[in-house]
């Protein structure tokens, strides 16, 4: 196998980043022997902090406290890569959960949620006007990152199994033949996809990966719903298929432990992790230490098996909600809309019949009639273009609220269709 040239993927801005000396000193001080005296860093003295103890109780009855020394670490600056014991625990977790090939060549960096990770990866790889492969509906947090860079979004159409490999290959072949700039990265949210709720099947994952190898692009595998799927079979991550070192995997604790902790982590080949780490040194220095220490203590108490048990509980919890919203959608939207039962994640993607654009229906009629959902156009390349879909989230609303929401959505659709009919009638009479 040919060695990958990662400098090909990095923008000039990313290549110009240099380590901040103070950050490097923190890294050195953290791993230095206890006998080392450091006057190098500008750390505040923990004795001045008002907190003396933090205790945490878990739903399973267990609990832990951060005593004085742990609290000292938890409230202090740490190396940019992350709280070292947590980084080590995440390495072990990742190895066990995905058995990634080329493990020795990979590294991990803790980020403030996958949004932080994906924005830093994209800014390391995509320069102004560069092409970027994305499925034809995708998580809007990605667009928010690349839009100011006037990136060329190369949309890959999807079916019920995700981006269609034949079209991906054909798109790349045509670009190559015509001499167009070739994309260096593809964004994929493969499990419980936001907004469509699909899971990309293994064979398709393999095919997309093969195409990435053929056309030399990276895969940004944004997988926050990996453990929130409703299939019997465990999805095999792109990371576990990555024999060439071209997958950048983003994990997030937002959906499975808590979003307010703002903790995620990125696993990729060391040179790409290094670029993100340098960017972090120039932004928020490191992800919040207190969150990292709490997470570390939790992982230590639960261990791998305890965490997996928690994830199983989540799956059961969200699957029940998925079943309820699907049943309600069948009940109220029969004949008005089409949808697939979500295979994972938090979202039901509903395509409305006879309405070209759901934006006004939701943002005006919906808001005044007490039901809000996300209009489908928000997940498209150009949100100002018409889209007949709606994304309904089933993660948080109570069953009663879901019932009310679906009932009100049916009323909205009927009212919108009636208005369209009236307008068409008036147009026909006028002409």
**Residues binding ligand PLP (CB under 6 A):** 113-115, 139, 141, 189, 194, 222, 224, 252, 254, 259, 264
Which residue is nearest to ligand PLP, using beta carbons?
113
Q: What is the nearest approach in angstroms of ligand PLP to the Cβ of residue 71? A: 25
What count of residues does the chain have? 431
Nearest to 251 by CA among 219, 280, 227, 218: 227
CA distance to 68, 98, 166, 171, per residue, from 191 (Å) = 41, 14, 20, 24
Nearer to ligand PLP, 285 or 327 (CB): 285
Nearer to ligand PLP, 141 or 383 (CB): 141
Nearer to ligand PLP, 266 or 333 (CB): 266
Q: Which residues lie across from 430 on neighbouring strands?
A: none
Q: What is the nearest approach in angstroms of ligand PLP to the Cβ of residue 142? A: 8
Nearer to ligand PLP, 322 or 408 (CB): 322
- By CB atoms closer than 10 A (0-12, 13-18, 19+), residue 124 is buried
Nearer to ligand PLP, 333 or 348 (CB): 348
**Sole residue written with tokens 């994906």:** 118
Q: Quote the CA–CA distance of 356 and 360 in Å, as a whole number.
A: 11
Q: What is the nearest approach in angstroms of ligand PLP to the Cβ of residue 179? A: 33
Q: CA angle, corner 98, sides to 134 and 166, nearest 5?
A: 35
Q: What is the nearest approach in angstroms of ligand PLP to the Cβ of residue 342? A: 13
Nearest to 304 by CA among 227, 395, 240, 228: 227
Nearer to ligand PLP, 263 or 410 (CB): 263
Q: What is the nearest approach in angstroms of ligand PLP to the Cβ of residue 192? A: 9
Helix and strand element counts for the chain (H, E): 14, 15
Largest Cα separation within the chain, whole Å, is 91
Q: What is the nearest approach in angstroms of ligand PLP to the Cβ of residue 250? A: 7
Q: Quote the CA–CA distance of 293 and 309 in Å, as a whole number.
A: 21
Q: Is 71 helix (H, G, I), strand (E, B) or coil?
A: helix
User: ω into residue 101 within 30 of 0, thus cis?
Assistant: no
Quick one: angle between helices 165-178 and 202-214, nearest 10? 10
Q: What is the nearest approach in angstroms of ligand PLP to the Cβ of residue 119? A: 9
Nearer to ligand PLP, 9 or 139 (CB): 139
Nearer to ligand PLP, 158 or 194 (CB): 194
Q: What is the nearest approach in angstroms of ligand PLP to the Cβ of residue 111? A: 8
Nearer to ligand PLP, 194 or 281 (CB): 194
φ and ψ of 37, to 5 deg: -100, 125
Q: What is the nearest approach in angstroms of ligand PLP to the Cβ of residue 247? A: 16
Q: Quote the CA–CA distance of 127 and 185 in Å, as a whole number.
A: 12
């Amino acid at each position: 196998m040919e060695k990958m040239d990662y400098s090909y993927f990095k923008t000039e801005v990313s290549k110009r980043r240099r380590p901040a000396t103070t950050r490097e000193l923190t890294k050195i001080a953290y791993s230095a022997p206890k006998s080392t005296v450091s006057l190098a860093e500008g750390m505040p003295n923990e004795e001045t902090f008002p907190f003396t103890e933090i205790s945490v109780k878990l739903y399973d009855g267990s609990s832990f406290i951060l005593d004085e020394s742990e609290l000292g670490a938890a409230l202090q600056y740490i190396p940019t890569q992350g709280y070292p014991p947590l980084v080590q625990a995440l390495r072990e977790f990742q190895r066990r959960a995905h058995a990634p090939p080329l493990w020795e060549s990979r590294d991990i960096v803790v980020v403030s949620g996958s949004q932080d990770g994906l924005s830093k990866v994209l800014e390391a790889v995509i320069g102004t006007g560069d092409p970027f492969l994305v499925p034809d509906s995708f998580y809007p947090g990605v667009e928010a990152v690349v839009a100011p860079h006037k990136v060329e979004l190369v949309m890959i159409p999807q079916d019920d199994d995700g981006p269609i490999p034949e079209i991906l290959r054909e798109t790349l072949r045509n670009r190559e033949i015509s001499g167009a700039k070739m994309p260096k990265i593809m964004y994929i949210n493969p499990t419980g996809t936001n907004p469509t709720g699909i899971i990309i099947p293994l064979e398709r994952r393999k095919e997309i990966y093969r195409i990435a190898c053929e056309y030399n692009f990276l895969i940004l595998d944004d997988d926050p719903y990996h453990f929130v799927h409703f299939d019997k079979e465990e999805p095999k991550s792109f990371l576990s298929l990555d024999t060439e070192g071209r997958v950048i995997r983003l994990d997030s604790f937002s959906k499975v432990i808590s979003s307010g902790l703002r903790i995620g982590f990125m696993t990729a080949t060391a040179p790409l992790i290094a670029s993100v780490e340098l960017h972090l040194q120039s932004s928020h220095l490191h992800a919040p230490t207190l969150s990292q220490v709490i997470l570390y203590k939790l992982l230590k108490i639960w261990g791998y098996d305890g965490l997996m048990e928690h994830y199983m509980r989540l799956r059961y919890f969200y699957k029940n909600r998925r079943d309820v919203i699907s049943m309600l959608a069948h009940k109220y939207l029969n004949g008005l809309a089409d949808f697939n039962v979500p295979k994972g994640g938090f979202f039901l993607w509903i395509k409305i019949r006879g309405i070209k654009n759901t934006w006004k229906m939701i943002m005006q009629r919906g808001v005044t009639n007490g039901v809000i959902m996300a209009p489908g156009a928000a997940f498209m390349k150009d949100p100002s273009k018409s889209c007949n879909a709606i994304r309904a989230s089933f993660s948080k609303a109570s069953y009663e609220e879901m019932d009310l929401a679906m009932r009100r959505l049916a009323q909205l659709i009927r009212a919108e269709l009636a208005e369209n009919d009236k307008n068409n009638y008036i147009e026909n009479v006028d002409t």
